[in-house]
């Protein structure tokens, strides 16, 4: 390093500072856990599972799909969320930090094993060992692009069944630790998330540790301050794309669908699924939004609603809502360019929120708002006729 110091002092300084930072990344003797994510709702369960096993959670990047691109993109975890608040609950490390600074010693290429419950059939014709059971951890999208981002290949597979991920109601954590001790298995790398969907009841409160990065906190605050009129606003989520229309066809055959337990309860103690809970008409959306605004104005006259912010995967209904609410002195707004993460951050800060009971996107917003004590409601819940009979407020 002396020659570098003499010829390139600036580069030497950078290397010295970087080396000092690496030194702070000490090996966790309790081991690590990582996985390929499919959806954000899996994160809280994975975090709880890592804590239950007392392993450091390697924070995976977020998987994103861009229009016109065949392969998914992997966006670093801390692009959207701060890492430090998670450490108040359990030990975590960014995947890039682990792979660049620790993996060579802790998880060398010759010892990288993929974990899955049971054999996964390959999407490709097997060339080598066609009869050898395998997780095929890199088959398909996002799996291949995800692991390729960090140049990870697996030398073999491990089938962990019949173990499972619920560490709240049994001695499951002890069984995992016994079968896969950290000294023999320093990294548990799961083909998919070690978590249930929807979010397990016991893990919902962990949402309070998911706090937006400074970039998104600032962007949400700036939009609210600069675009929305001064005063309170209602944030609404409209799920109405063609894929959602097709998904809602399964309501008639299901007791639970996606995130429906957030309003119906995990044992359907607050009712059963019905079509309007999944897909609402434009007329019912306008009626409920007007009713919510009137209720707030009557009960909170000092917190008058001045605007509505809309997030949607397809039709934001800006024209219809402006026409319906203009006489009430309400303006309707959306982001000029689609940004689902910024939508989430803004919805979380709204004075009142109306979301889709079935949607995990709405569920993310509600969990964040619950952690702050902010009010949330759901479209068509309870049913309009039940609401009229009981005059029950739809706030949970």
Q: Is 258 in the same domain as 157?
A: no
The predicted model gives 252-273 an average pLDDT of 95
Average pLDDT of the chain is 90
Q: Could you give the CA distance from residue 99 to residue 114 in angstroms, rounded to a whole number?
A: 16
Domain count, the chain: 2
**What are 44-54's pLDDT values in tens digits?**
999 999 999 99
Domain region containing 54: 32-124+131-201
79 inside domain: yes
Return the CATH number at 46.
3.40.50.11340
Tell me which of 201, 232, 262 is where a domain ends. Answer: 201
242 inside domain: yes
Q: Is 276 in the same domain as 382?
A: yes
Q: Is 189 in the same domain as 40?
A: yes
Q: Is 48 in the same domain as 105?
A: yes
20 inside domain: no
Tell me which of 177, 201, 225 is where a domain ends. Answer: 201
CB 258 within 8 A of CB 277: no
How many C-beta neighbours within 10 Å does residue 344 have? Answer: 22
9 inside domain: no
Q: Is 220 in the same domain as 196?
A: no
> What is the pLDDT at residue 385?
67
> Is residue 16 pLDDT above 80, yes or no?
no
In DSSP terms, 57 is beta-bridged to: 33, 92
> What is the pLDDT at residue 234?
98
Q: For tokens 């309790």, what's the residue? A: 30
| Nearest CA-CA partner of 364 in 289, 220, 246, 259 | 259
Confidence of residue 395 (pLDDT cuts 50, 70, 90): low
Q: Is 235 in the same domain as 101?
A: no
Q: Give the residue, 246 or 122, on which the prediction is more confident.
A: 246
Q: Is 376 in the same domain as 242?
A: yes
The predicted model gives 247-269 an average pLDDT of 95
> What is the pLDDT at residue 390?
52
> What is the pLDDT at residue 127?
53
**What are 169-180's pLDDT values in tens digits?**
989 999 999 999
7 inside domain: no
Return the CATH number at 305.
3.40.50.11350
How many C-beta neighbours within 10 Å does residue 275 have? Answer: 12
> Is residue 66 pLDDT above 80, yes or no?
yes
283 inside domain: yes
> What is the pLDDT at residue 312?
98
> What 8-state DSSP symbol labels residue 167?
-
Q: Is 158 in the same domain as 106?
A: yes
The predicted model gives 188-214 an average pLDDT of 96
> What is the pLDDT at residue 5?
39
Q: Is 37 in the same domain as 167?
A: yes
> Is residue 319 pLDDT above 80, yes or no?
yes
> Is residue 12 pLDDT above 50, yes or no?
no
Tell me which of 172, 201, 230 is where a domain ends. Answer: 201
**What are 83-142's pLDDT values in tens digits?**
999 999 999 999 999 999 999 999 999 999 999 999 988 866 555 556 688 999 999 999
Q: Is 155 in the same domain as 43?
A: yes
> What is the pLDDT at residue 389?
55
Q: Could you give the CA distance from residue 36 to residue 146 in angstroms, rounded to a whole number?
A: 7
Q: Is 44 in the same domain as 91?
A: yes
17 inside domain: no
254 inside domain: yes
Q: Is 163 in the same domain as 219?
A: no
């Amino acid at each position: 390093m002396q020659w570098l110091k003499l010829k390139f002092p600036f580069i030497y300084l950078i290397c010295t500072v970087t080396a000092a930072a690496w030194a702070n990344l000490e090996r966790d003797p309790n081991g690590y856990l990582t996985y390929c994510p499919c959806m954000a709702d899996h994160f809280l369960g994975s975090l709880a599972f890592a804590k239950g096993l007392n392993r450091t959670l390697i924070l995976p990047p977020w998987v994103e799909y861009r229009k016109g691109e065949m392969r998914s993109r992997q966006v670093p975890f801390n692009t959207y969320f701060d890492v430090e608040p998670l450490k108040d609950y359990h030990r975590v490390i960014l995947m890039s930090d682990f792979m660049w600074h620790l993996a060579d010693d802790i998880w060398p290429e010759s010892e990288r094993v993929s974990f899955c419950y049971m054999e996964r059939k390959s999407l490709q014709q097997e060339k080598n060992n066609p009869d050898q059971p395998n997780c095929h951890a890199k088959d398909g999208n996002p799996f291949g692009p995800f692991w390729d981002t960090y140049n990870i290949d697996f030398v073999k597979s491990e089938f962990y069944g019949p173990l499972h991920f619920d560490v709240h109601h049994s001695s499951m954590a002890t069984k995992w630790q016994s079968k896969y001790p950290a000294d023999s298995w320093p990294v548990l790398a799961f083909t998919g998330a070690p978590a249930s969907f929807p979010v397990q009841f016991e893990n919902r409160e962990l949402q309070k540790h998911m706090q937006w990065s400074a970039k998104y906190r600032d962007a949400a605050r700036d939009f609210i301050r600069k675009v929305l009129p001064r005063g309170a606003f209602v944030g609404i989520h409209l799920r109405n794309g063609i894929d959602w229309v097709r998904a809602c066809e399964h309501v008639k055959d299901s007791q639970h669908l996606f995130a429906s337990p957030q309003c119906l309860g995990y044992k359907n103690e607050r009712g059963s699924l019905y079509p309007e809970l999944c897909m609402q008409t434009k007329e019912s959306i306008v009626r409920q939004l007007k009713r919510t605004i009137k209720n707030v104005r009557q009960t909170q006259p000092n917190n008058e609603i001045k605007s509505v912010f809309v997030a949607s995967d397809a039709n934001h209904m800006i024209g219809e809502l402006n026409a319906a609410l203009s006489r009430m002195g309400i303006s309707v707004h959306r982001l000029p360019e689609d940004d689902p993460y910024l939508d989430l951050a803004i919805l979380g800060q709204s004075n009142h929120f109306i979301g889709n009971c079935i949607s995990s996107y709405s569920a993310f917003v509600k969990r964040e708002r619950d952690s702050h004590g902010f009010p949330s409601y759901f479209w068509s819940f309870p049913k309009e006729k039940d609401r009229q009979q009981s005059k029950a407020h739809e706030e949970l």
